[in-house]
Amino acid sequence: MKHRNRSTTQPKRKLLTCALASVLVIASGHAIAQSSNATLRGKAEAGAQVPAVNTATGSKRQVTASSDGSYALVGLPPGTYTVSSGDTERTVTLQVATSVSLDLAGAAPAAPAGDATTLDTVRVSAPPLQEVKTSEVGTNVSLKQINTIPQLTRNFLEFADTVPGMQFETDPRTGQSKLRGGAQQTSAINVYIDGVGQKNYVLTGGVSGQDQSAGNPFPQLAIGEYKVVTSNYKAEFDQVGSAAIIAQTKSGTNEFKGEVFTRYTNTSMRQRTVGEVAAGTEKDKTKQNEYGFALGGPIIQDKMHFFFSYEAKDFVLNVDPVATPRDWSSFEPFLPDRIRAQLGPTTSPFNEDLYFGKISWDIGDNDRLELSAKYRDEEGVSGNGGTTTDTAAKVNFNTDKRYDLRWMHYGETFVNEARITYEDALFNPAAFTIGNQSIYTRGLDENQVLITADSTSALSIQRKGQKGPAFQNDLTFNSFEWMGDHVIKTGFKYKSVELTQSENSAINPTFRYAVNDGSLQPSPYLPVGTATIPYQVNFNLPFEGASPIVTTKAKQFGIYIQDDWDVTERLQLNLGLRWDYEEIPSYLDYVTPQEVVDALYGPGTPPRGSATYPQAPSYDAQLRAGGVNIEDYISTGNNRKADKNNWAPRLGFSYDLSGDERWVLFGGAGRSYDRNLYDYMGLEQVKAALATYEINFVESTGCTPTPGSCVNWNPAFLNGIDVLANEVQVAGRNGELNLMNNDLVTPYSDQYSLGIRGTIGEWNTSATLAYVHSKEGFIFTLGNRYPNGNFFDAPSWNANDIAQPWEHAPPGFGNLIIGNNGLETKTTQLLLSAEKPYTQESGWGFTAAYTLSRAKGNRGGDEHYAFDGATIEDYPFIDLRAVPRHRLVMTGIYDLPWGFTASAKVTLATPPPINSIVGWWEYGTELNDPLIVSTDAPGTLGTKQLDLSLSKRFDIAEDMTFEVRADMINVTNAENYSSYFTDWGGGGVYDPQTSFVTRGNGVTSYTPPRTLFVSARLTW
């Protein structure tokens, strides 16, 4: 396998370690938080006191300007502040995770117009200071946008879609959403709420709880604003490979404030989905009901405040109607009555409860305590629809608990932030009904599934989660006068997190029944109709001494230093370095079972390379002939080491071209490390714990009776696996083998950018050229090889064809699946943005985000299996489906007379490329050269969506407002199909023609049908 160069010299590593450690001596040995606070820098009179007072809470922070007049107020919670120096006073708003400039030297300027208010109101505060001197590629999303722009979900991450380089997608059928930065996997993002990463260590989605969920990661009512950084974030950010979302929650103020809302839509308020149109059915009865409230206010005036919010979802979602495949519709009358009764329209219910609470306490001018807690609880049915009936569905139980205690101490020249956090997230799907599973197939062809159904389901319980504490600290120095003005931030983290992974365990068997409508040749084993006796049963049995659930306690450690250095009044350098380390004992200490080693080498065979290694053929020999060194995957319990080479430099600059921050040139280069998902790494032990069996029945197949393979039918088999266990010998692990490379490393991305920011009147503009090269992503490939070592050869069942060696698994086992690093993407993007911020004075606001992308990689999307080539290195770099070539998102807000406000969102995107595997036996140039291709999808626009919103405000009392609102999603009812038919050519000539959309069962769309949401909100 190819891995990145790990040859960093020891003297250099020691030097870097010492440099970090010397600064961290002061940091008192805790862990680092990813800050959502703001920094205010600038000039004042030399030696003058510079206080900043929060106009909503009364909290005060103060520093002394240095001998050259420089000052830096760091660690300020986002909000509106009165900042003064001598006779000069300014009222400004600071946005989340920004570092901005304010010149207080000289005469007092005129105060900005507008009332200064807080983030947790919908009224406009004093004009926010724009962050321009930073090397980060990022954009802020304001509370006004969150409260006003049309929205399909109440997932606050949906507004990240308005940032160049970002995509937020919601599956119209399931309600499940995902956020992607660039062309990388969705798991590469990280969301930091109040400085705490919400990373999902086990499942995909990036954020804990988002995998296979129609829910929201956090109550939108509790979000004040957030920032999206698509690349070149600073060194304080860890466990992220693509985009970093930095959100600040609301806090209570000196005024008691509250909000109650409800939002609703149902069947009569939407058009038919593309699936309903394709199936020719009427609309399913669906609904989406959301409601909640928020309260905040003082406990002790100017000192202690509280905030609490609750949001709920009560959904009945649309899924594809349950139907037989359209080519097999003639089979439907021959199905059992109880199965036919389950065909037709169906829905998927979903419920979620989200709670968040926070207490903030300013203990004097120098100390602040915050205690917050989040609880998420949801339950949703999934998997039904298409060829799966409701009884064969599953129920996803999903919980997420997080607690955060933070202490901030403000010194004259530093700010120290320490925190203790705890998380407990669990994804726990279970069967909708417990019992046997039945699968109806076309004849005895088990690969042609007609419909999966019965009165009960065999889906098994799973447990996949993470829980544990973390201890964090970071230290910011705001006054370093050495070769310019420095703000230095440093810290480290320690986290202990228990990871749990489980696969389908042994609960119920799956029986397969043959269906014949008379088009197949009738026989005693295949009568017309549905056979009353199944022809096959599949089931798992646990191997003695092993468990299909693996739990381990991972240890995470990180350290960093970041210097924001104003070299001159025009030039700022952002210099950072971080190092991360993680130990996962279940991977490091794992010992490959002896029976697995025997199957690969032969019983009692000494390891290859020893003097006594036999020359007789073994499975290891055919693996070696096929380029697989199985010793790379055999673990002894002490031959695996954690990756210690995760050094990540972050370098950036910004240069004020005009001297007044109107035009700023910026750029940067850096490396960022993500992590390997435990859902994949745990399979090594989970798969080895279950023995998989397949038994055929004489009465339905005519097979020759063989113990454990072909037996006579016994109705008692329907009573479960305990009876079936008597038919087999659980003597060994004959399940699928999943083996991990002994030298797994951490996925990472190298990021480069160069851009310019400009202010034209009230408009903020930006143009950036960004390049991200992600490497070492995790991938599973097929380890099986033919006896001659080939990966492609003629299978025994078809000498005129070629195929992968699925029938040549290790003796006594299922297929050999090996896990390695090797996924790689290269994404070049032109990011253009223009924003006219909304103000009460102008009464309107506008944003435009355009992204031109060219993304190439050897595997796209969230794929982690690659069975079409021998190794991941055999996959070509092709244009990836993950991102469209062109994408434009525009939003607008406009105040109308009589308390009306209108807003709109327009999304336009070209169809992303179509990635496919084309039959190598038809178009490939060599036997071992499958044709993996990318071709253009038809049409000019793959996504065209217009969303409109209209609201009316009623001032019913002083400081009390009632608002009614209507959101129309996909106003034009555009059918943005995402499934196509492609004719790849014929006669050995590769000539792709993608000419029309697939219109049948399973047709999909990027967007929902036209849907009206109505909502009401009361604020005071």
> Is pLDDT of 511 > 70?
yes
Residue 323 is predicted with a pLDDT of 81
Residue 113, domain member (yes or no): no
Residue 125 is predicted with a pLDDT of 52
Residues facing residue 691 across a β-bridge: 541
Residue 447 is predicted with a pLDDT of 66
Helix (H/G/I), strand (E/B), else coil: 619: helix
Residue 18 is predicted with a pLDDT of 42
Mean pLDDT: which of 278-287, 452-461, 699-708, 962-971 is highest? 962-971
Mean pLDDT: which of 122-126, 405-409, 996-1000 is highest? 405-409
Verify that 274 and 152 share a domain, yes or no.
Answer: no
Q: What is the CATH number of the domain that holds 231?
A: 2.170.130.10
- Top pLDDT among 975 and 122 is at 975
Helix (H/G/I), strand (E/B), else coil: 277: helix
Q: Exposure pattern of 556-592 as b/e (b: 16+ CB <10 Å)?
A: bebbbbbbbbbeeebebbbbbbbbbebbbebbbebeb
Verify that 853 and 804 share a domain, yes or no.
Answer: yes
- Of 907, 901, 778, 757, the closest CA to residue 843 belongs to 901
> Is pLDDT of 698 > 90?
yes
> Of 199, 222, 249, at which residue does a domain stop?
249
Which of 554-563, 708-717, 770-779 comes out lowest in average pLDDT?
708-717
> Is pLDDT of 381 > 60?
yes
Residue 17 is predicted with a pLDDT of 41
Cβ atoms 739, 733 nearer than 8 A: no
- Of 133, 165, 98, 160, the closest CA to residue 770 belongs to 165
Residue 221, domain member (yes or no): yes
- pLDDT tier for residue 558 given thresholds of 50, 70 and 90: very high
- Of 672, 707, 675, 677, the closest CA to residue 693 belongs to 707
How far CA 912 is from CA of 128, 490, 856, in Å, comes to 37, 42, 12
Q: Which two tokens stand for residue 694?
A: 């397949």
- pLDDT tier for residue 751 given thresholds of 50, 70 and 90: very high
Q: How far is CA 79 from the centre of its chain?
A: 29
CA gap 339, 452 in Å, rounded: 9
Residue 494 is predicted with a pLDDT of 97
Q: Which two tokens stand for residue 771?
A: 């390049």
> Is pLDDT of 73 > 60?
yes
Residue 21 is predicted with a pLDDT of 41
Residue 616 is predicted with a pLDDT of 52
> Of 249, 268, 284, at which residue does a domain stop?
249
Residues 6+ apart with CB under 8 A from 328: 442, 450
At 5, give phi and psi (nearest 5°).
-65, 120
Model confidence pLDDT, tens digit, residues 91-111: 999 999 899 999 998 644 444
Mean pLDDT value of segment 605-613: 56
- pLDDT tier for residue 982 given thresholds of 50, 70 and 90: confident
- pLDDT tier for residue 923 given thresholds of 50, 70 and 90: low
Residue 327 is predicted with a pLDDT of 67
Cβ atoms 487, 515 nearer than 8 A: no
- Of 242, 213, 145, 210, the closest CA to residue 844 belongs to 145
Mean pLDDT: which of 468-482, 655-669, 935-949 is highest? 655-669
Secondary structure string (H, E, C) spanning 304-354: EEEEEEEEEEEEEEECCCECCCHHHHHHHHHCCHHHHCCCECCEEEEEEEE
Mean pLDDT value of segment 390-407: 93
Q: Which amino acid is at 346?
A: T
Verify that 443 and 561 share a domain, yes or no.
Answer: yes
103: buried, middle or exposed (CB in 10 Å: 19+, 13-18, 0-12)? middle
Verify that 870 and 896 share a domain, yes or no.
Answer: yes
> Is pLDDT of 562 > 60?
yes
Residue 291, domain member (yes or no): yes
> Of 231, 249, 267, at which residue does a domain stop?
249
CA gap 318, 285 in Å, rounded: 8
- Top pLDDT among 854 and 481 is at 854
CA gap 116, 726 in Å, rounded: 77
Which of 20-29, 183-192, 782-791, 916-925 comes out lowest in average pLDDT?
20-29
Beta carbons within 10 angstroms of residue 704's beta carbon = 9
Residue 997, domain member (yes or no): yes
Q: Exposure pattern of 261-299 as b/e (b: 16+ CB <10 Å)?
A: bebbbbeebbbbbbbbebbebebbebbbebbbbbbbbbe
How far CA 61 is from CA of 83, 110, 475, 793, in Å, comes to 10, 23, 16, 73
> Is pLDDT of 10 > 60?
no
Verify that 508 and 414 share a domain, yes or no.
Answer: yes
For the chain, how far is it from start to end, CA to CA, in angstroms? 62
Verify that 273 and 422 share a domain, yes or no.
Answer: yes
Mean pLDDT value of segment 3-21: 39
Residue 727 is predicted with a pLDDT of 86
Verify that 180 and 325 share a domain, yes or no.
Answer: no
- pLDDT tier for residue 664 given thresholds of 50, 70 and 90: very high
Q: Which two tokens stand for residue 397?
A: 């139980």
> Is pLDDT of 119 > 60?
no
Residue 925 is predicted with a pLDDT of 47
Q: How many CA atoms lie within 13 A of 914 on its CB side?
A: 22
Rg of the chain over Cα atoms, rounded to whole angstroms, equals 30
Cβ atoms 195, 671 nearer than 8 A: no
Which of 163-172, 226-235, 455-464 comes out lowest in average pLDDT?
455-464
Verify that 381 and 480 share a domain, yes or no.
Answer: yes
Angle at 327 between CA 325 and CA 330, to 5 degrees: 90
Q: Which amino acid is at 759?
A: T
Which of 233-237, 305-309, 666-670, 911-915 comes out lowest in average pLDDT?
911-915
CA gap 39, 204 in Å, rounded: 33
* pTM of structure: 0.91
CA gap 403, 400 in Å, rounded: 10
Mean pLDDT value of segment 440-446: 82
Model confidence pLDDT, tens digit, residues 269-300: 999 888 778 777 788 889 999 999 999 999 99
Residues facing residue 947 across a β-bridge: 905
Q: Count how many domains the chain has.
A: 2
CA gap 696, 713 in Å, rounded: 9
**DSSP states along 192-236:** EETTEE-B-SSSSSSBTT-TT-SS-SS-GGGEEEEEEEEE---TT
Residue 811, domain member (yes or no): yes
Residue 448 is predicted with a pLDDT of 65
Mean pLDDT value of segment 323-340: 80
Which of 14-18, 319-323, 344-348, 847-851 comes out lowest in average pLDDT?
14-18
Residue 127 is predicted with a pLDDT of 72
Model confidence pLDDT, tens digit, residues 342-358: 888 888 999 999 999 99
Model confidence pLDDT, tens digit, residues 411-424: 989 999 999 999 99
Residue 535 is predicted with a pLDDT of 94
Helix (H/G/I), strand (E/B), else coil: 715: helix
Strand order, beta sheet including 244-249: 137-141, 223-231, 244-249, 190-193, 196-197
Q: What is the CATH number of the domain that holds 351?
A: 2.40.170.20
Distinct helix (H) and strand (E) counts, the chain = 12, 50
> Is pLDDT of 126 > 50?
yes
Residue 20 is predicted with a pLDDT of 39
How far CA 261 is from CA of 32, 158, 253, 310, 962, in Å, comes to 36, 19, 20, 10, 10
Verify that 264 and 215 share a domain, yes or no.
Answer: no
Q: Which two tokens stand for residue 948?
A: 């409109």
Residue 49, domain member (yes or no): no
Verify that 313 and 245 share a domain, yes or no.
Answer: no
For the chain, give the percent of residues with pLDDT over 90: 61
Verify that 386 and 299 share a domain, yes or no.
Answer: yes
Look over the chain and give the mean of its residue pLDDT values, rounded to a whole number: 87
Residue 703, domain member (yes or no): yes
Quote the domain boundaries for residue 176.
137-249
Longest CA span, the chain: 101
Verify that 858 and 953 share a domain, yes or no.
Answer: yes
Beta pairing, strands 38-43 & 99-101: parallel
- Of 751, 887, 768, 881, the closest CA to residue 830 belongs to 768
CA gap 719, 707 in Å, rounded: 20
Cβ atoms 514, 530 nearer than 8 A: yes
Which of 431-445, 661-675, 873-887, 961-975 comes out lowest in average pLDDT?
431-445
Mean pLDDT value of segment 936-955: 91
Residue 308, domain member (yes or no): yes
**Any idea which residue has 């031109």 for tokens?**
852
CA gap 646, 745 in Å, rounded: 9
Residue 292 is predicted with a pLDDT of 98
- Of 138, 164, 152, 294, the closest CA to residue 224 belongs to 294
Q: Which amino acid is at 31?
A: A
